[in-house]
């Protein structure tokens, strides 16, 4: 089957203050990680289109629009009734659903996520928005009552924080971005959103939906480089929330530019080095199957990927043989054919993976599977490295790609020492069929990471579960429920009971959106 690339297009718009404006400055060419095979056997790059590289001035325009719409918390959006905000989000959702095909296809072509997973990312995001709306309604219902205790009447709700700068990642360019954007909006914040370096065009079919569904200035959508747009915005001190999924190097650099960092709320999903620990009493087939899934789904480009595998010496050789066979049996192909492995969108990724392998081999590891290594400029077949030791870079660094390091251990204490020394603390996976082993390991791990998975790979979902991390892996907690809390603050009205008549009149006359006991149906 010959695969036809989609027709390239030049996207030249951005959304600021409710207006779709045309950009006539610099653009970047967007290439697909997949090449096109030519008749002469050579592979040609596929151009998907062009995207704007907006200037700092445009970034500032977006910031001013978001500030004006927020108006120090007095703007129409932050003071809107919950019904009005829900109606806007529902309108957006309806418009978004009509773009499923376009967005999912672009997602696949732009970041090489297999077709099935690309559609799943879209559908999961739609479900997330629906669940968030339901959770928000419940939160509002809980806030629709007056407390009366110790001679004090009170009404407690959650209020917005201000202007949010939202920066998403390339690996989940739709889902992870919207898991920030949607709760931020629903809570009454105003937003400036900029996509990552890769995974840009797939968001363009949704720009108009943002324009139609939200009042002017509530969502501002810009395109370009972080250092041109995000850095200068942070330097003004006018960003109240930095919502970023990426790495700590970028978030630290941005936070350092904010003149009043104590006023800045950070909601960050950062890098991780999630370990799998395979004990002597593990079911090795389960451990291998989950390791392959955990380490190599979407080529290991997930923050939750298993990035280091500790195996007990008594089963290590057996485990590694089975793992190598399972890895070598994987297909690396065009995402349209739905393989596990696909090309890599980051242009420097293949040499980075090669460098990890070279460093490990120089320090005594072997590449134990046969197929591992470079295929072309954007494809790298996973390399299984064994035995990996602390002298190797891959032991400490997040590879975020298709290299699987296997470390041998004799006693859990050795693993615990390296987990304690690691800069990361997101999740781990334990493999054992023995309850004592699991009980002991769980108690050792729960205070090192924020989710312990038993006989299963690490993952973020289902989305009602809290997603967070220790150390350099995260700031704040995300989930359908927690994200609404992360993007808001508790705020209340209090009055002595001797003000009962006045409070009753305010509630009865229905002029306040905050002081109301109307039950949201």
Q: Point out which residues bind ligand G3H (CB under 6 A).
A: 171-172, 176, 302-304, 459-461
Name the residue among 178, 175, 194 with its Cα closest to residue 52: 194
Q: How far is the CB of 426 from ligand G3H (least distance, A)?
A: 9
H or E stretch covering 246: none
| Beta-sheet strand order (sheet of 147-149) | 147-149, 152-160, 488-496
Q: Of 239 and 458, which has the nearer Cβ to ligand G3H?
A: 458
Q: How far is the CB of 179 from ligand G3H (least distance, A)?
A: 8
* 430 vs 123: CA distance, rounded Å: 30
Q: Of 49 and 269, which has the nearer Cβ to ligand G3H?
A: 269
Q: Of 246 and 387, which has the nearer Cβ to ligand G3H?
A: 246
Q: Is 335 helix (H, G, I), strand (E, B) or coil?
A: helix
Q: How far is the CB of 184 from ligand G3H (least distance, A)?
A: 17
Q: Of 49 and 401, which has the nearer Cβ to ligand G3H?
A: 401
Number of neighbouring beta carbons within 10 Å of residue 84: 14
Q: How far is the CB of 304 from ligand G3H (least distance, A)?
A: 4
Q: Of 121 and 238, which has the nearer Cβ to ligand G3H?
A: 121
Name the residue among 186, 207, 170, 205 with its Cα closest to residue 131: 186
Q: Of 189 and 459, which has the nearer Cβ to ligand G3H?
A: 459
DSSP E strands, 40-197: 43-52, 147-149, 152-160, 163-167, 190-194
Q: How far is the CB of 303 from ligand G3H (least distance, A)?
A: 3
Return all residues near 36 (Cβ < 8 A) that are at least 6 apart: 5, 43, 44, 45, 46
Pair type for strands 403-409 and 383-386: parallel
* 191 vs 69: CA distance, rounded Å: 10
Q: Of 451 and 485, which has the nearer Cβ to ligand G3H?
A: 451
DSSP state of 281: T
Q: How far is the CB of 25 from ligand G3H (least distance, A)?
A: 32
Q: How far is the CB of 364 from ligand G3H (least distance, A)?
A: 31
Q: How far is the CB of 251 from ligand G3H (least distance, A)?
A: 15
Q: Which long-range contacts (CB under 8 A, 24 or more apart) does 261-266 make?
A: 263/237, 264/239, 264/240, 265/161, 265/240, 265/241, 265/476, 265/486, 266/241, 266/242, 266/475, 266/476
Q: How far is the CB of 472 from ligand G3H (least distance, A)?
A: 15
322's tokens: 């089975």
Q: How far is the CB of 272 from ligand G3H (least distance, A)?
A: 8
Q: Is 401 helix (H, G, I), strand (E, B) or coil?
A: coil
Please report, in angstroms and rounded to a whole number, the separation of the first and last CA atoms in the chain. 52
Q: Of 69 and 111, which has the nearer Cβ to ligand G3H?
A: 111
Q: Of 61 and 176, which has the nearer Cβ to ligand G3H?
A: 176
Using the structure block, give the residue that is written with the tokens 């392998």.
357
Q: Of 31 and 172, which has the nearer Cβ to ligand G3H?
A: 172
DSSP string, 126-167: HHHHHHHHHHHHHHHHHHSS-EEETTEEEEEEEEE-SEEEEE
DSSP string, 440-477: HHHHHHTTTSSEEEESS-----STTS-B--EETTEES-
């Amino acid at each position: 089957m010959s695969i036809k690339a989609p027709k390239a297009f030049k996207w030249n718009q951005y959304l600021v203050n409710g207006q779709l404006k045309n950009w006539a400055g610099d653009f970047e060419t967007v290439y697909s990680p997949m090449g096109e095979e030519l008749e002469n056997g050579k592979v040609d790059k596929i151009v998907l289109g062009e995207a704007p590289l907006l200037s700092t001035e445009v970034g500032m325009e977006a910031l001013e629009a978001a500030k004006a719409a927020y108006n120090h918390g007095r703007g129409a959006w932050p003071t809107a009734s919950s019904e009005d905000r829900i109606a806007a989000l529902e309108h957006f959702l309806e418009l978004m659903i009509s773009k499923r095909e376009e967005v999912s296809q672009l997602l696949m072509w732009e970041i090489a996520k297999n077709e099935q997973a690309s559609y799943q990312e879209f559908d999961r995001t739609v479900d997330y928005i629906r669940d968030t709306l339901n959770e928000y309604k419940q939160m509002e219902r809980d806030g629709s009552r007056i407390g009366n205790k110790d001679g004090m009447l009170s009404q407690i709700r959650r209020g917005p924080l201000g202007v949010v700068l939202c920066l998403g990642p390339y690996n989940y360019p739709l889902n992870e971005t919207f898991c920030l954007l949607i709760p931020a909006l629903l809570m009454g914040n105003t937003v400036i959103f900029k996509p990552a370096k890769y995974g840009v065009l797939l968001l363009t079919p949704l720009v108009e939906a943002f324009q139609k569904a939200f009042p002017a200035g509530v969502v501002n959508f810009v395109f370009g480089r972080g250092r041109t747009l995000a850095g200068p915005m942070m330097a003004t001190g006018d960003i109240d929330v930095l919502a970023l999924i990426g790495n700590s190097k970028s978030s630290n650099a941005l936070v350092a530019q904010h003149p009043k960092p104590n006023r800045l709320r950070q909601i960050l999903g950062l890098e991780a080095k999630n370990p799998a620990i395979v004990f002597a009493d593990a079911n090795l087939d389960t451990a291998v199957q989950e390791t392959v899934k955990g380490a190599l789904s979407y080529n290991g480009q997930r923050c939750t990927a298993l990035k280091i595998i500790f195996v007990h010496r008594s089963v290590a050789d057996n485990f590694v043989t089975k793992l190598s066979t399972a890895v070598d049996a994987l297909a690396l192909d065009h995402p349209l054919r739905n393989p596990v492995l696909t090309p890599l969108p980051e242009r420097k990724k293949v040499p980075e993976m090669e460098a990890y392998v070279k460093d490990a081999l120089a320090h005594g590891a072997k590449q134990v599977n046969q197929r591992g290594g470079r295929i072309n400029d954007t494809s790298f077949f996973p390399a299984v490295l064994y035995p990996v030791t602390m002298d190797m870079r891959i032991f400490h660094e997040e590879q975020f790609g298709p290299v699987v390091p296997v470390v041998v251990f004799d006693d859990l204490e050795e693993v615990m020492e390296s987990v304690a020394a690691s800069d990361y603390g997101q999740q781990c996976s334990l493999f054992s069929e023995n309850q004592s082993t699991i009980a002991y390991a769980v108690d050792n791990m729960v205070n090192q990471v924020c989710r312990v998975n038993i006989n299963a790979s690490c993952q973020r979902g289902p989305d009602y579960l809290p997603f967070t991390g220790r150390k350099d892996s995260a700031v704040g907690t995300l989930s359908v429920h927690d994200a609404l809390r992360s993007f808001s603050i508790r705020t209340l009205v209090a009055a002595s009971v001797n003000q009962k008549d006045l409070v009753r009149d305010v509630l009865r006359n229905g002029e306040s959106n905050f002081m109301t006991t109307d039950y949201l149906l």
